[in-house]
Copies of this chain bind each other. A is one copy, B any other.
Amino acid sequence: MKDKYIIIVGCGRLGAHVAKMFTRSRNSLVMIDKDATAFSRLSEEYSGFTIEADAVEQDTLLRAKIDQADVLVATTDDDNTNIMIAQVAREIHHVPEVMLRIYDPSRAKIYEGTGITTICTTLLAAEAFGQALSSQEGVTLP
């Protein structure tokens, strides 16, 4: 089974957790963040590369060898940044699998069917609360 070359943009809690998850497998990882101190969130076993740069600048993605990437995951704290990076990765560099985190539920379904996977944390959490509530006796859910 062929391992994947995965670029992660944004080394916040989510990016660092995703890196940890994929480090345990045999994929090759590159983490990009414009703030080098963010890399301290990476677990000790992280064995990938780190690039301190703004991924919105196209040169940064080229330095990360995006044209060889199988997967790009955009996890910065800014919806617009994630959307912009995901679109560049998908439409210019034709990365086969592009994923992004988004906060705004109204924008969560825009990319259905485009090869861009959108994970909306607001919707995920609301659904989880709803499921917890509906498992309680007597709660009426829509």
Chain A residues near B (Cβ < 8 Å): 1-4, 13-14, 17-18, 21-22, 24-27, 70-71, 73, 75, 96-97, 99, 101, 103-105, 117, 119, 121-126, 128-130, 132-133, 136, 138-142
CB distance from A137 to the nearest CB of B (A): 9
Q: A-side binding surface: helix, strand, loop or mixed?
A: mixed
Contacts of A142 in B (CB 8 A): 21, 24-25
- The answer to whether residues A73 and B14 also contact, given A25-B140, A139-B27, A140-B25 and a CB cut-off of 8 A, is no
- Nearest chain B residue, comparing its CB with the CB of A104: B13
Once bound together, how far apart are the Cα atoms of A70 and B22, in whole Å? 40
Once bound together, how far apart are the Cα atoms of A14 and B141, in whole Å? 17
